[in-house]
Amino acid sequence: MDRLNIITIDGPAGAGKSTVSKELARRLGYTYLDTGAMYRAVAWAARQKGVDVGDEKALSELCNDLKLGFQGDRVLVNGEDVSSFIRTPEMDGLSSAVSRVAVVREYLTGMQRELGRQGRLVAEGRDMGTVVFPQAAHKFFLTASAGERAKRRKMQMENQGEEVAYEEILAQIEARDLADSTRAIAPLQASPDCIIIDSSDLTVEDVLEKVVTEI
Ligand code: DC
């Protein structure tokens, strides 16, 4: 892997990573890699097959049989477009649960590194700068206060015609932050050599400007 070809963007749920990473990739002509979608796809496949997230052996078999693909913005599992099924509150929780399992992380980390070998990548996730691409040339950690992230999520849901109480969203965000940052393997954390950007009081354009300036 050529370290100069990889830009990593890690951070907690709802910090604006996807918006920023996608747009950054577009501007630089890089490929955007949404690793959260990969964990979501495994979670979805597990639920389809009735595999328990505590059953490592079954999850290992599931991963071995899984054909995971991307087509532009779409996520494919064994040829089926699952993009809309993996973005539900249920999959928020289930993806976080499967992401704790060693065999799942090994499987997806391998795939991610392989994609990294193929070309220029903006890799978004929780452990891109710490575990998957520690030698990446440019590493960012995008964060925002839990309150601000809950506010943004609520607005996003309202735009999709869903009404959920702010307190409920905040509680879910805090629970997932805790689960993701305290798990044993590859927990969510800022690598010592990354640039931390707090987007609480920044627009998407402000964040992009900071990132592009750093690069
Ligand atoms: O970014 P996201 O919300 O789509 O990610 C869903 C879950 O997947 C998240 O709660 C933790 C897990 N994840 C991970 O463990 N490592 C990554 N690199 C990306 C996501």
pLDDT of residue 156: 86
pLDDT tens track for 83-124: 999 998 899 999 999 999 999 999 999 999 999 998 899 999
Q: Ligand 1: distance of its center to the CA of 101 in Å?
A: 12
| Atom of ligand 1 at shortest range from CA of 87 | 4
pTM as predicted: 0.93
Q: Ligand 1: distance of its center to the CA of 163 in Å?
A: 24
Q: Ligand 1: distance of its center to the CA of 111 in Å?
A: 15
Arithmetic mean of pLDDT over the chain: 94
Identify the structural domains of the chain with CATH numbers, from first to last.
1-30+121-215 (3.40.50.300), 34-119 (3.40.50.300)
pLDDT of residue 3: 66
Residue 60 in this model has a pLDDT that exceeds 90: yes
pLDDT of residue 2: 61
Residue 62: burial class (beta carbons within 10 Å; 0-12, 13-18, 19+)? buried
pLDDT above 70 coverage of the chain, percent: 98
When pLDDT is cut at 50, 70 and 90, the band that residue 14 belongs to is: confident
| Atom of ligand 1 at shortest range from CA of 183 | 15
Q: Ligand 1: distance of its center to the CA of 195 in Å?
A: 20
When pLDDT is cut at 50, 70 and 90, the band that residue 157 belongs to is: confident
Mean pLDDT of 52-81: 94
Residue 65 in this model has a pLDDT that exceeds 80: yes
Q: Ligand 1: distance of its center to the CA of 112 in Å?
A: 13
State whether the beta carbon of 35 lies less than 6 angstroms from ligand 1. Answer: yes
State whether the beta carbon of 130 lies less than 6 angstroms from ligand 1. Answer: no
State whether the beta carbon of 129 lies less than 6 angstroms from ligand 1. Answer: no
pLDDT tens track for 162-207: 899 999 999 999 999 999 899 989 899 999 999 999 999 999 999 9
3-state SS record for the chain: CCHHHEEEEECCCCCCHHHHHHHHHHHHCCEEEEHHHHHHHHHHHHHHHCCCCCCHHHHHHHHHHCCEEEECCEEEECCEECCCCCCCHHHHHHHHHHCCCHHHHHHHHHHHHHHHHHCCEEEEECCHHHHHCCCCCEEEEEECCHHHHHHHHHHHHHHCCCCCCHHHHHHHHHHHHHHHHHCCCCCCCCCCCCEEEECCCCCHHHHHHHHHHHC
